[in-house]
Amino acid sequence: MKVLGLDSSGLVAGVALIQDDVLIAEYTTDYKKTHSQTLLPMLDELRRMVDLDLKSIDLIAVAAGPGSFTGLRIGSATAKGLGLALDIPLAAVPTVDALAYNLYGCEQLICPMMDARRQQVYTGLYGFSSIEQGTEFQVIEPQCATGVEEIIKKINERGQQVVYLGDGATAYETLIKEQTKVPYVFAPANCNRQSAAALAVLAKSYYERGEYVTAAEHRPDYLRLSQAERERMEKMQK
């Protein structure tokens, strides 16, 4: 089974191709270019590098949100366009879940953070547990938009060692260090940002459970209003 992963939900843009349990190729960039400039060229480069016939793809994995409004639209539009043209289903994976999945097998509590500005983050709490068949990914606190202090409070209440990752953890590192009362670490550079490969692997398990949609049905999940919409509402309330 071939799964194409597309992630442009945050600062990172990523494209990956997995086949069964093998990562065939991955292209990731975190640079000062818009995703409209990077995502399709990256996909085209990956396609040429591995002689990929797009018609051989079985599933398109896309970051469902939350994240950058523009980035999510670019990723969704790309996935929908490919899905419609090739008649391929889409598996939309919650962005924060996919970020946590980077730390597969981690025994500590996992707290991904994506910077949502104004001391707000897109975040959640995750973990992995051992089961008879292997390792199971657990969503302890579903992804949400909340204040940095609020999620740290929940972590302190749980009393477990925690691993922080994501651009939000970098943006609010000082606050995290000041307020976290349990043992903590920050994930290293090789696994602390969005990964299209992790997204694709997680999407494959979604597909096996029947959790996928047609390209026409897919809609991104923003979790909160855009800044422009919030400012308009604030003006209307005055």
Query: Over the stretch 51-109, which tens digit does the pLDDT of each residue have?
Result: 999 999 999 999 999 999 999 999 999 999 999 999 999 999 999 999 999 999 999 99
Give 205-210 contacts, CB < 8 A, sequence gap 24+. Answer: 206/91, 206/93, 207/1, 207/3, 207/59, 207/89, 207/91
Q: Cα–Cα distance between 99 and 196 in angstroms, integer?
A: 9
pLDDT band for position 228 (50/70/90)? very low
CB 93 within 8 A of CB 99: no
pLDDT above 90 as % of the chain? 85
H-state helical runs in 14-136: 35-49, 69-86, 95-100
Residue type at 82?
L
Contacts of 199 (CB under 8 A, 6+ apart): 5, 6, 7, 14, 16, 61, 62, 63, 93, 98, 101
Token duo for residue 13: 């843009």
Q: Cα–Cα distance between 88 and 215 in angstroms, integer?
A: 7
- What mean pLDDT is reported for the chain? 92
Q: What is the pLDDT of residue 230?
A: 45
DSSP 8-state assignment for residue 207: H
Contacts of 173 (CB under 8 A, 6+ apart): 186
Q: What is the pLDDT of residue 204?
A: 97
Q: What are phi and psi of 139, to 5 degrees?
A: -95, 105
